[in-house]
Amino acid sequence: MKKANVYVTLRESVIDPQGTAAINVLHAKGHDNVKDVRIGKYIELTIDDTGQDLDTAVREMCEKLFVNTNVEDYRYEVLEVEEA
2, 61, 66, 73: which one contacts another protein (CB under 8 A)?
66
**Any residues with CB less than 8 A from the CB of 47 and at least 6 apart, and which?**
1, 2, 3, 4, 54, 57
24 scored as a contact of another protein (CB under 8 A): no
6 scored as a contact of another protein (CB under 8 A): no
DSSP 1: -
78 scored as a contact of another protein (CB under 8 A): no
Shortest distance in whole angstroms from residue 31 CB to another protein:
20
Nearest alpha-carbon partner for 38 in 14, 62, 63, 66: 14
25 scored as a contact of another protein (CB under 8 A): no
